[in-house]
Amino acid sequence: MLRLMKKNAFYFVYYAAVIFPLMAFYMYFVRKELSGAMVMFQGLWLILIVEGALAVSERAEDKTRGYDFLRLLPIKDQEIVLSKFLIVFLTTIFLVAFNYILYLFIPGPVHFFTIGRILVLISGIYALILAATSYVIIFRFGHANFVKFVWAVMIITMVAPVLIFESVILKMDLDINIVINKLSQFHWLIWIVLPFFGLAFFYLLFQTALRAKIAAKG
């Protein structure tokens, strides 16, 4: 299990431990204080880094025919799938924790810190579910279909927040600060409900991916 995790961990470690902190510190020194733009971009980058590392890792796996090689070894399908999911889980936990720690050292309005933590948590859950869904597609439909899925999801992930902001908040003439204050009143509920249902769904997708891997082997 540990060897499998080391085999797949390079791209996740590189993106999570090198690129993400560099971007975060860049935004910290440029923006000087926490802002709505910084909060949104931190959440988006978290999602893109997890899914991007997964995509690059799986591209290398497909190019080197890594799964075909693993079939020749006395390794159970459960170990292969579990190692993939554990790397995604640990990477996401690291990125969420890193954001939370970063917020301790950045000045800014109090309500931005509350909504920032909420958005980071939502982004983390979304990244977990997206990555888990990716593995289901890889094991069930193959790498080619996974590539199509990634492109579609990445476009939606980048474009949807902008469209929602422009079409809903601006057209309804809502004050973004009012929206943030309203959301921050329910932060305790979000921190309890989201992790529970998010992790439960993540586990269900793990089981689905495992069944798909076993079926593909057969």
For 71-128, write each residue's pLDDT tens digit: 777 778 888 899 999 999 999 999 999 888 877 777 776 666 777 788 888 889 999 9
Residue-level pLDDT at 124: 93
Residue-level pLDDT at 128: 95
Residue-level pLDDT at 12: 86
Residue-level pLDDT at 5: 72
Residue-level pLDDT at 135: 93
Count of alpha carbons within 13 angstroms of residue 29, beta-carbon side: 5
- pTM of model > 0.85: no
Closest residue by Cα to residue 134 from 196, 194, 52, 72: 52
Spans in the chain with pLDDT lower than 50: 169-174
Residue-level pLDDT at 172: 46
Closest residue by Cα to residue 136 from 48, 76, 210, 201: 210
Closest residue by Cα to residue 142 from 59, 44, 25: 59
Cα–Cα distance measured from residue 56 to residue 58, given in angstroms and rounded to the nearest whole number: 5
Measured over all CA atoms, what is the biggest interatomic distance in the chain, rounded to whole angstroms?
61
Alpha helix positions (H), 64-186: 66-71, 77-103, 110-141, 143-164, 176-184
Cα–Cα distance measured from residue 167 to residue 186, given in angstroms and rounded to the nearest whole number: 24
Cα–Cα distance measured from residue 162 to residue 40, given in angstroms and rounded to the nearest whole number: 10
Name 128's Cβ contacts closer than 8 Å, sequence gap at least 6. Answer: 50, 88, 89, 92, 198, 199, 202
Residue-level pLDDT at 90: 93
Angle of helix 77-103 versus helix 36-63 axis, rounded to 10 = 160
